[in-house]
Amino acid sequence: MHRVAAIALNTFREAVRDRVLYNLIVFALLLIATAILFGEISIGVQKLILVNLGLAAITFFGLAIAIFIGIGLVYKEMDKRTLYALLAKPVRRSEFILGKFCGLGLTLLVNTGLMAVGFFLALFYVKRSFDAGDSYLLVAIYFIFLQLLLATALALLFSTFSSPALSAGFTLGLFLVGSFSSDLRELGQAVELPGLAAVMEVVYYLVPNFRNFNVATSVAHGVAVPFELVLYNTAYAVLYGGLVVALSVLIFHNRNLK
């Protein structure tokens, strides 16, 4: 456990050194521009657009970090040959993968947390107060974090056996397919092709269902998020993410590093 924590902290420090957190400046500017601009050019949706854009920006900035750092987690260590020095020490391959995952997870947690602070400050600027409905925004941000952990797990998986460019393509592709999964299932049911509905049903359960975690439109209107959904989404992310990380460990364990 201690070794996993050491690798995780090192991964976090490396991300900070790589100026990953600079994206916060862009995020802050985006929110400020939105808060000021949309009050001028639209009618009555200043708060709505701030919430929707803020949550979308937290997702996309986080996703960019999860994918573009995640795909290099293993590859970079191998390319720079630092992995061999590390594995020569009493560190298991599984601990290395787990440490990398936790490190990027920590980076995303800090990044998402800081963005959430900026987001609520911008919201306060627009509304001049908070109400009970705003507490559901925290749930939406928590769901985004779960989404990012899933994306990190996928990027890490591809990073264990593929090049960074291909890993980025695979992860982004899976994110897109996972966001369209319910549409794919509907398509399978709508098109009268023998067996297609069953295939799409399998695809629906196989790919990570990223749409599960998107409640932005509802919480923007102050609609409550049921507690059961929080539990189910947490369980889904832990199970699915856990399986993907376990698969990464398995692949990396069997990989010939010579």
Instruction: Check residue 163 and give left, alpha or beta (phi > 0: left; psi -120 to 50: alpha).
Output: beta
> In the complex with other proteins, which residue's Cβ is closer, 14 or 183?
183
State the Cα–Cα distance between residues 104 and 231, nearest whole angstrom. 23
Does 136 contact other proteins by CB under 8 A? Answer: no
Closest distance of CB 73 from other proteins, Å: 25
- Considering only residues 217, 231, 235, 243, which one is a binding residue for other proteins as defined by CB under 8 A? 217
Q: Phi and psi of 174, rounded to 5°?
A: -65, -35
Q: Which tokens is 248 given? A: 């990464």
Q: For other proteins, how many residues bind (rule: CB under 8 A)?
A: 26
Angle between the 23-41 and 93-127 helix axes, to the nearest 10 degrees? 30
Does 49 contact other proteins by CB under 8 A? Answer: yes
Q: Residue 224: helix, strand or coil by DSSP?
A: coil
Does 183 contact other proteins by CB under 8 A? Answer: yes
> In the complex with other proteins, which residue's Cβ is closer, 32 or 56?
56
First to last CA, the chain: 27
State the Cα–Cα distance between residues 118 and 154, nearest whole angstrom. 28
Q: Which tokens is 197 given? A: 């509905």
- Considering only residues 13, 80, 127, 211, which one is a binding residue for other proteins as defined by CB under 8 A? 211
From 35-43, 66-74, 124-132, 245-253, give the range in contact with other proteins by CB under 8 A: 35-43
Closest distance of CB 13 from other proteins, Å: 31
Does 129 contact other proteins by CB under 8 A? Answer: no
The closest alpha carbon to 175, from 198, 201, 153, 143, belongs to 153
- Considering only residues 32, 179, 197, 203, which one is a binding residue for other proteins as defined by CB under 8 A? 179
- Considering only residues 85, 176, 191, 235, which one is a binding residue for other proteins as defined by CB under 8 A? 176
From 80-88, 102-110, 220-228, 245-253, give the range in contact with other proteins by CB under 8 A: 220-228
> In the complex with other proteins, which residue's Cβ is closer, 83 or 140?
140
Longest dimension (CA), the chain: 63
Write the single-letter amino acid at 204.
Answer: Y
Neighbours of 230 (CB within 10 A): 15
Does 221 contact other proteins by CB under 8 A? Answer: yes
CB 126 within 8 A of CB 35: yes
From 92-100, 124-132, 160-168, 214-222, give the range in contact with other proteins by CB under 8 A: 214-222
Chain residues binding other proteins by CB under 8 A are 38, 41-45, 48-49, 51-53, 55-56, 176, 179-180, 183, 210-211, 214, 216-218, 220-221, 223
